[in-house]
Amino acid sequence: MKIGRLSHVGVAVESIEAHAPLYGGTLALEMLGTEVVPSQKVKVAFFKVGETRVELLEPTSPDSPIRSFLDKKGPGVHHLAYEVDDLEAALSEVKAGGVRLIDEKPRIGAGGIRIAFLHPQSTGGVLTELCERH
Ligand code: ZN
């Protein structure tokens, strides 16, 4: 498996609108856009940071995984996402290496990109996303 780069850092927030002035204003990061991802019950906003991005995640429903994260841990860093060339191959390799998968098969994330999550119990407490370069 070859990890190309850190694709993005996911940050859970109660409200993207409330945080846009920090990221887009004070930190002066370029906002690349927002998107609602119904399958994950989140609204996301991406801010460009060189070759990587910050992804703000706002829950869109009381049963959103981000809602339960916020309720348990409060706002903050939610996951790290690494970019890989071949997601199926990468999942097989990490599984063979003993990592527990949340997603046995790729699913579609923001931007139509194929993604899969690894279980934080297998990755030192860091929820880890692999996403496929496109
Ligand atoms: Zn992500």
Check residues 128 and 1 and name the one with the higher pLDDT. 128
**For 61-76, how does the pLDDT look when each residue is reduced to its tens digit (9 = 90+)?**
999 999 999 999 999 9
The sign one gets for the Cα dihedral 33, 39, 43, 44 is negative
Greater confidence (112 vs 77) lies with: 77
What's the whole-model pTM score? Answer: 0.93
pLDDT for 106 equals: 96
Is residue 26 predicted with pLDDT exceeding 90? yes
40 vs 16: which has the higher pLDDT? 16
Per-residue pLDDT at 134 exceeds 80:
no
pLDDT of residue 39: 84
Instruction: Specify the fold of 3-132.
Output: 2,3-Dihydroxybiphenyl 1,2-Dioxygenase; domain 1 (3.10.180)
CA of 27 to the centre of ligand 1 (A): 20
Cα–ligand 1 centroid distance for 117 (angstroms): 9
Going from the Cα of 37 to the center of ligand 1, the distance in angstroms, rounded, reads: 11
The C-alpha atoms of residue 134 and residue 127 are separated, in whole angstroms, by: 22
Distance in Å, CA 86 to ligand 1 centroid = 17
pLDDT of residue 49: 96
DSSP letter at 17? H
Percent share of the chain, pLDDT over 70: 99
